[in-house]
Amino acid sequence: MRDILLDSDVIIEILRGNEKVAEEVIGLGKSGRAVLYTPISKAEIYHGIRENEKEKTEAFFSCCRPVPITDEIGEKAGRYLRQYNRSHGTEIADALIAAAAFINNADLFTFNHKHFPMKDLKLHKLK
């Protein structure tokens, strides 16, 4: 069973109270899949956080497992950028998140499928 790596947009939906998305992620966790995030997503979330959202955000991240950005992930992200930057507008944050999912053998849960055209990446679709 493959783990699941959450993209920033999915985390934002959960923090905004989207119950359907939250239930999906909870169900994935209960099925034995580790729920992962990257420091890139955490930075994007904390960039836009309001003071009254801090406690809820910290509680969310404490329930998930961080995936460090390693040298191997950096190399894979660079290859993704070279291949998809011009054709699909893939930017460094997306490339690093995609590479983290690939290197950690995790499915990527995102709503921005256009940003992740990588053929060797498995995307999770909301049920």
Residue whose pair of structure tokens reads 């490339």 in the numeric block: 95
How far CA 90 is from CA of 14, 34, 51, 55, in Å, comes to: 24, 26, 31, 32
What pLDDT, on a 0 to 100 scale, did the predictor assign at position 21?
A: 96
pTM assigned to the model: 0.94
End-to-end CA distance of the chain: 17
pLDDT-derived band at 3 (thresholds 50, 70, 90) equals very high
| Dist. CA 22–CA 12, nearest whole Å | 10
What pLDDT, on a 0 to 100 scale, did the predictor assign at position 1?
A: 80
How far CA 52 is from CA of 12, 40, 66, in Å, comes to: 15, 22, 23
What are 63-97's pLDDT values in tens digits?
999 999 999 999 999 999 999 999 888 999 999 99
- Dump the DSSP string for 63-125: TSEE----HHHHHHHHHHHHHHHHHH---HHHHHHHHHHHHTTEEEE-S-GGG---TT-PEE-
What pLDDT, on a 0 to 100 scale, did the predictor assign at position 89?
A: 86
| Dist. CA 19–CA 22, nearest whole Å | 5
The domains located in the chain, with CATH, are 3-124 (3.40.50.1010)
The amino acid at residue 75 is E
What are 29-62's pLDDT values in tens digits?
999 999 999 999 999 999 999 899 999 999 999 9
What pLDDT, on a 0 to 100 scale, did the predictor assign at position 96?
A: 98
